[in-house]
Structure 1
């Protein structure tokens, strides 16, 4: 499993910031959905059950093992979070796993296409050859087998559209994963807005150009780090 080798406090602060940022950007849904970071082969940090993302602070983040035991933290955890995140960390090997029902990206999980068109826009191009589509809705993820099914459908991809459900965005660190989450929603919003006009859309036609552009975006991640640090300044914690 890939995991992040930084201080526990730093990880908790980054994870809490990503949650508050998601609320700030309108990507939260009630007190549902989950963000997690692997800290060992069998443990990960997770947002707690019952807190709105806008109020989550570093001290609220919970450390759990893949069996669902709370190792550190004062809050309980939500069962589906354990089943989905434990499986994606263990099977797909991702260090950071962000799961949301954010509205525009999730809208595509209700369609025959199942996901955005990665050739539709410059924002969408960053997801070229990175997206898995799970076309089988199988109810709530309330057991380990469903989490494992989702993880296997995701495979080696770091973005997954889950049929009639939501999305998963994974990454090597919190800043990169959150940047991708944000731009996935923006790409989905742009495509939906273009389609809603009734005018014919005009996807990028040159696949080699699309590939090169995607590689350029993925190869230059300073912008992702700068974005996350800007969010740290404008969405401070209670102790900042």
Structure 2
């Protein structure tokens, strides 16, 4: 607790709230089985600081991330807080370019889930085969695999290939989602992950799948707002998952 008090005393109330929300997101991702050893990343722009964002300490599992041990860095990768932890170059290279060039990309999540990586390697990517994938049709970008993302010049191509989309398959690599809020990014990842899981199960049957026609996809997406709860996209869903995470361990709040 002493570490949490020390860190909290050094940052603004807005940054501390952001730290807690991002730490909660890491715990929720882990709870849902989206961790990958000490790798992958969820980042969040620091409120009121355009060129600063929070990232997980390199070397810690998602289940070990707390509000205090999140690392604050700038767009150039320089640490802006006292931290004994390094930052994964692959995470910095990929996320910094989006935070720098996309004003609405406040929260960015990149994972290597089995289902996400599998669909990223399928010709044609995600298809309109299920309830969840139909929400995402027309909103997904694709980026060809270039190896581990540690070269700054790849950032230009990442932004170009993303275009006006905010969900991307990194081919043969994994998935990337971004949102204006943490709950929005969480919900986009949840939808994409579920869509991928179901698509893979459909393909396992060996039976020709039923493809939802574009006109039905359009109606499906149009009517999504009719079942939305107050608070913004993903907010009630994320809040529910945070309550579940709290039942397991509240240490992320420190």
TM over 0.5: yes
CA–CA distance in structure 1, aligned partners of residues 121 and 252 of structure 2: 41
Stretch deviating more after TM superposition (143-152 or 102-111) = 143-152
Structure 2 unaligned residues grouped into runs of 5+: 1-12
Contact 2:38 2:61 in 1 (8 A): yes
Q: Please state how far the C-alpha of 1:185 moved relative to its aligned partner.
A: 0.7
CA contact (8 A) 1:92 1:156 kept: no
Hey, what does 2:223 align to over in structure 1? 216
Please name the residue that 1:102 is paired with: 113
* Greater C-alpha radius of gyration: 2
Instruction: Quote the Cα distance in structure 2 between the aligned partners of 1:239 and 1:18.
Output: 9
SS of match in other structure, 1:138:
coil
- Per-residue CA deviations over 1:113-167 (Å, capped at 9, x if unaligned) read 2x211x2111112212210011x21111112112332222112111000111111
CA contact (8 A) 1:61 1:73 kept: no
Partner in structure 1 of residue 123 of structure 2: 112
For the residues of structure 2 that align with 1:160 and 1:34, how far apart are their CA atoms? 15
- Normalised by the length of structure 2, the TM-score is 0.85
Q: Can you list the C-alpha shifts for 1:185-229, whole angstroms capped at 9, x where unaligned? A: 111000110110111110212x23312322333673547211111
Which residue pairs with 1:143 in the alignment? 151
Q: Contact conserved, 1:160 with 1:167, CA < 8 A, in 2?
A: yes
* CA RMSD across the alignment: 1.8
In the alignment, structure 1 residue 203 sits paired with structure 2 residue 211? yes
Distance 1:165 1:218 in 2: 32
The separation in 2 between residues aligned to 1:214 and 1:41, in whole angstroms, is 32
After superposition, the Cα gap between the structure-2 partners of 1:229 and 1:106, relative to the gap in structure 1 and judged at 3 Å, is same
Counterparts of 1:43 and 1:203, CA distance in 2: 43
8 Å CA contact 1:49, 1:78 repeated in 2: yes
Counterpart CA distance in 1 for 2:252 and 2:150 is 35
- Show the counterpart of 1:37: 44
CA distance in 1, matches of 2:174, 2:37: 14
Question: Alignment partner of 1:133: what SS?
Answer: strand
What stretches of structure 1 of length at least 5 have no aligned partner?
1-5
After superposing on structure 2, the runs of 4+ consecutive aligned residues of structure 1 that deviate more than 4 Å are none
2:251 matched to which residue of 1? 238
